[in-house]
Structures are given as structure tokens and as C-alpha cells.
Structure 1
Amino acid sequence: MREPASGQQFEITAGAARAVITEVGAALREFEVDGVPFAEPYAADRRPPASAGAVLAPWPNRVAGGRWVLDGEPQQLALTEPARGNALHGLLCHVPWQVEERTAASVRLRAPVASQPGWPVPLVVAVEYAVSGEDLRVTHEVRNAGDRTTPFGVGAHPFPRAGTAATDDCTLRLAASSVLPLDADTLLPARPPRSLAGDELDFRTGRPLAGVWLDTAFGGAAPAPGDDRVRHALTAPDGTAVELWADPVFGWVQVYTADDFPGRGRAVAVEPMTCPPDALNSGIDLLHVEPGETWTGSWGLRAR
């Protein structure tokens, strides 16, 4: 029997919650509670459409021209978005990940980032998916397997879904206070971030998605007073909702509205990121990991 394009499928369940993770890209392919979808599903026999559910490391989003500099040494990454001339979404979206641990309710996968053209410091990247109750928790780890400090960023590319409601019938709320203007052709930063106060892109109190088209980087994502998590939400007219929560280190979120998601049409990606597009060049909110050290951060989905 031919293996699906996304490799082996790892189903995890706990009570009413169920998720399916792919071997290729360690991508979230399904998440549902009581049979109701809270992430856009797609078929196992295809690669993730629009990077759906993929792990984005060791950088999320785009690197301009695939060029950046480490310790004074110019680096040239492969241009994986050739039409725009960018290196897109890291180095692990299309490689098979190895299972390290697996239980009925969780799976932990690992993938090495070898020293290579454009990325000279080897890393070991791991991700654990775990379900419980009405929740999916995703924990990322990045370990420096090299001998010098390296910058990096981490992101994820989920397409949350508020049950059976049409995307255009839903309201999106973002815990973001700024927006990074992007060039329409390259989707790279065109100007410094600006405040969302009084801006038409201010989603802090929630806005309907009907007629809204986004491929936009939002910053300043922070927990509400007294909270310890960043919280975004997609809500249907009947109150069914999916919350995307994240550790405060995920201070950026890219929102992308698609009109051609397989079997769905209109769909919305809400992508938690530790840094903005082209951070390997701007240095904005880049993380750094020392030789032998490990960074950890989490985000998740909660059905409501």
C-alpha cells in the first residue's frame, strides 16, 4: 500500500478530543472534539495545503532573498518561495520527523537541522502534541547541537476552525497591539510596526471576517492583565469558538485568509510566531540558544 504524501499518521485521543499529526513536517492535520472540527482538516494523501499545521523552524515566515549574516559571515539559504525570492518557513516543513515518544494521548517527534549552506549551526528540533479534555497542547524545543550561539525563531501554521460555521460567518479576535506593514509583492516588512489604536486592522475586540483579506503580521501580542497566556479566538454566531493560546514568547501572529482550502474554500490561518518576518535580518525578537542549551515554548488550541 502506498504511503500517504504526508507520511505516517499519528492519531492521539483523550476523552472527546482527537488529533492527527503527520510524519512529514510534524504537521497538525486534524483536531476535533466530540467529532466537531476545530482545525481545518485535509487529506493524508497530500502535502499540507498552504503549510497547514506545519512547524516553522528555525525561522517562521520569510527571509529576504534567503540572505542573512551570522557572526559576520554571509549566509545564503535556498529560495523555497522562488516567485517572491524568499526563504520560507524554515527547514523542516518537508522532511520526515522521527517519533521519540508516543502514548494514547500524545506524540513527541524530533528532527535534526544539519549544518548546511545557509544554516551553519546544527540544531535538534522537537515538538510534542498532547490532547486532554477539549484541549490540544503543542510544545516546541530547540537544542543547539553546535559549538556557537545561534539566533532562531519558531512558529506554527494552524488553520483554526469554529466548528461547522463558515469562516465568513465567524468573528476573529487577536491579542495584538501593532501591525507590521508588508510589501504587497514580497510580503516582507516595508515599514516599522505601527500601533493598532484606531486602525481598521485592530482585531482586539473582535471583527467579522466576511469581506476581510489578510496576509498580515501582527505584533505586540501579549496576555491580558492577570493572565499568563496570549489568547486569540475565532467565534461562530452560535458561540462555538476555538481559542488559540500561546506563551508570551509568541509575541507575533501572522493571519492569512485563504479562499481555496481543500474542501472548505474560505479558511483562516492564525500563526503564532516568536518573531516577525525577516527577523534573521532585522533582529527583532530573535531568540538565541547557546551550545548545548535547549529552548522550550508552548501554544495550543481549546474548543469552547
Structure 2
Amino acid sequence: MDTTNSVSITGGGYTAQISLLGGQLLNLSHLEDELIVPAAQTEGAFAGAVLAPWPNRTKGASYTYAGVEHLLPVNEEATGAALHGLLIDTPLRVVSQKESEVQLAGWLESSEGYPFGLEIALTYRVSADLGLAATLMARYQPEELADPSLEEDTDAAEPEGEATDPNDRGVDELDAGDADLETSDAAEPEADPADTDQNEAAQPEAEDSDNGDQGAAEEDATLEPELTASVGEDGETAPAEATVAGVDAHGSETDESETRLADLDPEEAASAHAAAPRTAPFGAGFHPYLTAGGAPLKECRLRLPARTMLKTKADGSVTGRKSVSADFDLTNGPLLAGRRIDHAFTDLPEEGWTAELVHGPSGFVVRMIADTPWVQVYTGERIDRAGVAVEPMTCPPNALNSGEDLIHLEPGTWFRVGYSIEAIRMD
């Protein structure tokens, strides 16, 4: 982890450090208290990482899209899965930086396992009203359509201050709180196909997501969606939202026959790569480990309004779902002492949701706001329970294979998702 190749922002009592490699959130504090476990203390645990173009695990590090099977790099040897996407190793550049805000941009190159070039824009902002607001934007740019002048055009963009009119905004105003954009619907709960939760029987090192865990966009007059921060009347950040304009919810057409690129001769493989799919499969998430100023988890409560949880195998494959109960019912903010959780939750409020880590003795609260249809919760056994990972996700584990809530990016269409974290002190 290269913490020297990073930028810092400060405002409203908040300080954040962001890596230029994948836009990883390295540190976040308010006054003297840490709000996330510093990434330097969690080597290999994806702490603070931005997860794209898929969050969580892809079973067997392979998936089929538009009739072609793709083989991803295996980065979790114990399960043979591809974990948390490719962005974490992607260099980003600073497009614009102010004291309290930084805008990053980069290009996720197409590869054998993911032959879809993506333009990436990432913004972090801190303020007294919002806490930390983070926004990820991505759009599919097939290589034959990519603009070679993209970098020059993007670097030339300079924001002109905060936007106030929601109808007069540009991509420079990227943020995690625009309540005018459409959101993905949360998945409907299904009947429980089995009485035994396979996750509960698995060791934390082989659970669903985290225990195995190892910039501003082109200034284009046609960019959609336009973004800005949104603060409600109560002063809280409006939930971060996501939209994919003009994309069918069921994605692109697929061919019943499946083709492995590895089985083709060089000319056929080149031809398959040249014929870029009409859409790109995409999912995203964020991976902060929340901490209430470093307080032990056994003294903290976690509140999350999710009503359904997945049952998965260690490799990320989903075997069913069930209503939350017992140790996995977080709706009333139970004490985390003795609870071991590493599960994906859904059936969240469609208008957005709030998760709160509450330190009982002091009343100190770390609040996350997001509007994704999924969230992974992991009680951090891999990092000695130094914090609890609360990971907003646009799709469940293994979505590249199941297709559930998978986003299908059309060329040139922006997708946006974000979250916020703030500190609340009881006076």
C-alpha cells in the first residue's frame, strides 16, 4: 500500500486521506477521533477500497456475458474467487483539488477477463454539514469509440465553486447526495429454501466478502447525469443515488451458445475482442471499516434497517435468502459483542438507508448514509475486530454470474453511486 502517493482534504473538522491508486480512502477522522480503521493497519483487507467493476466475489473467477465466457484473475486462492473488482490497482490522476474536495479521474483498461474499457470519475468532499461524501461515476467507452483526447479534455476542467441550482450543474459538482436521480430497486425477498445458513457454518476466513479481503469525468456538454450535493432540511446528507439512463433493467441480449476466448484461435479471439458488446456488465461498492474513535466493537451497537440476508457459500455463490433474525437482526441496533457477521443484506428502504455504529459508553455515533439495494456487513475478524465493515453495494455477491441487480452500461452513459460518513456527538 503506497500511502505516500495520496492527497488529503480537510473541512468542517473532518480530515480524509485518499490514495491515487484506485481512490482508496486511507484515513478519515473528525477532530481527534477516527471514523474508519486506517488502511495502513489492515493490510490486504481492502479497507476503504472502491470496489468496481464488481463488488464482493465472483465464483470461480469466471462469468459469461453476451454469450462469451470470461476468465478473471483469481485473487483469493482459498476460494478460487475473483474478489472486489479491478479498480484498486488502477492509477488515478487529480483533476481538481481544493482544501475540502478532490476530484480524481482514470481509465480502467479492457483486459482478457473484463474486455470493457471504463472511464472512471471519483470525488471526495468533506464539510461540517455532510461529513465525508464520496461519489463514484463510471461509463463504458469501447476502445474503438474512446476519445484519444479524453485525458487532455478532462485535465483541463476546473470547477468554479459549489453548485446551488440543481438544474444548473456540471460534472465538476460530483458528490454523494443528489436525490433527483433514479435508484435501483432493492431485491424482493424470496422464500427461505433451507433452514440452515451456510454462512453461519463457515469460518470467517471463508465467508462471503471481507474476511478473505485481501476522477472527475470528461468535461462534455452531453454528460448525464449532472450531479451535486443535496442537504435536507434537517441538515443531513441526502442518500447517494445511482442511475443508468436508457438501459433496460434486464440488460443486453445474450447468445444461448457460450464461447470461451481461451478456446479460440488467435484470429477468432481477436475478432471476438474487436466486436465490442453493446453494453458492459458493472457493479460497484465501497469498503470502509467503521470505528467509533477506535472503541472496541464489544462496546458498540450497529443499527441497519435491512430485513433480508443472503445465504452463501465461501466462494461467493448464493444458495438462498431469509429474513433477518437472532444475531443477524440489526434493525434495533444490537450490541456487537459475541456477534460474528459476514453477510450480504438487502430489503432496505428504497428512499435510502442509514447505518449507525454507536459507542454505548460515550454515545459517539458514526453514521453512514447510502441508497444502494445491498450492503455487506463484516465484523472484522480478519483485522482483530478493529472495526466493522459496512459496504454499500449495487448488487449481491456473484452478480456477474447471477445477473441480479447487475448494471448494463451503454457506451457513453454515466452511472453514479456514492455514500457519506459523519460523526455525531452527544453533548
Do residues 166 (structure 1) and 296 (structure 2) align? yes
Q: 1:132 aligns with which of 105, 127, 147?
A: 127
RMSD: 1.8
TM superposition shift of 1:260: 5.0
More strand by proportion, 1 or 2?
Answer: 1
> Greater CA radius of gyration, 1 or 2?
2
What is the aligned partner in structure 1 of residue 258 from structure 2? none
Do residues 240 (structure 1) and 364 (structure 2) align? yes
Q: Distance in 2 between matches of 1:7 and 1:94?
A: 15
User: Does the 8 A contact of 2:327 with 2:339 survive in 1?
Assistant: no
Q: Distance in 1 between matches of 2:422 and 2:67?
A: 43
What is the aligned partner in structure 1 of residue 202 from structure 2? none
TM superposition shift of 1:36: 1.2
Where in structure 2 are the equivalents of 1:109-124 lying within 5 Å?
Answer: 109-124=104-119
Do residues 301 (structure 1) and 421 (structure 2) align? yes
What is the aligned partner in structure 1 of residue 66 from structure 2? 71
What is the aligned partner in structure 1 of residue 353 from structure 2? 230
Where in structure 2 are the equivalents of 1:27-66 lying within 5 Å?
Answer: 27-43=24-40, 48-66=43-61
Structure 1 unaligned runs (5+)?
Answer: none
Could you give the per-residue CA deviations for residues 77-101 of structure 1, whole angstroms, max 9, x where no partner exists?
1111122100110011123222122
What is the aligned partner in structure 2 of residue 252 from structure 1? 374
What is the aligned partner in structure 1 of residue 410 from structure 2? 290
Count of aligned pairs between the two proteins? 288
Q: 1:277 aligns with which of 390, 397, 421?
A: 397
SS in 2 for 1:181: strand
Could you give the per-residue CA deviations for residues 220-258 of structure 1, whole angstroms, max 9, x where no partner exists?
2225xxxx4211110001211111111x3x111111122
Where in structure 2 are the equivalents of 1:176-215 lying within 5 Å?
Answer: 176-183=306-313, 185-186=314-315, 188-196=316-324, 198-215=325-342
TM superposition shift of 1:47: 7.8
User: Does the 8 A contact of 2:33 with 2:293 survive in 1?
Assistant: yes
SS in 2 for 1:93: helix
Structure 1 stretch 108-117 or stretch 57-66: which is displaced more?
A: 108-117
| Consecutive aligned runs of 4 or more in structure 1 exceeding 6 Å deviation | none
Structure 1 stretch 269-278 or stretch 214-223: which is displaced more?
A: 214-223
Q: 1:221 aligns with which of 323, 348, 367?
A: 348
TM superposition shift of 1:7: 4.5
Q: Which has the higher contact order (CA 8 A, sep 6+)?
A: 2
Identity of aligned residues (%): 37
Do residues 153 (structure 1) and 283 (structure 2) align? yes
Do residues 95 (structure 1) and 100 (structure 2) align? no
SS in 2 for 1:39: coil
| TM-score in terms of structure 2 length | 0.64
Could you give the per-residue CA deviations for residues 8-50 of structure 1, whole angstroms, max 9, x where no partner exists?
121100131111111222111111111211111243xx88540
SS in 2 for 1:75: strand
User: Does the 8 A contact of 1:168 with 1:266 survive in 2?
Assistant: no
TM superposition shift of 1:6: 3.7
TM superposition shift of 1:291: 0.7
More helix by proportion, 1 or 2?
Answer: 2
User: Does the 8 A contact of 2:318 with 2:398 survive in 1?
Assistant: no
Q: Distance in 2 between matches of 1:291 and 1:260?
A: 39
User: Does the 8 A contact of 1:163 with 1:241 survive in 2?
Assistant: no
User: Does the 8 A contact of 1:27 with 1:48 survive in 2?
Assistant: no
Structure 2 unaligned runs (5+)?
Answer: 143-275
SS in 2 for 1:303: strand
Q: Distance in 1 between matches of 2:422 and 2:411?
A: 35
Q: Which amino acid aligns with 1:231?
A: T
| TM-score in terms of structure 1 length | 0.89
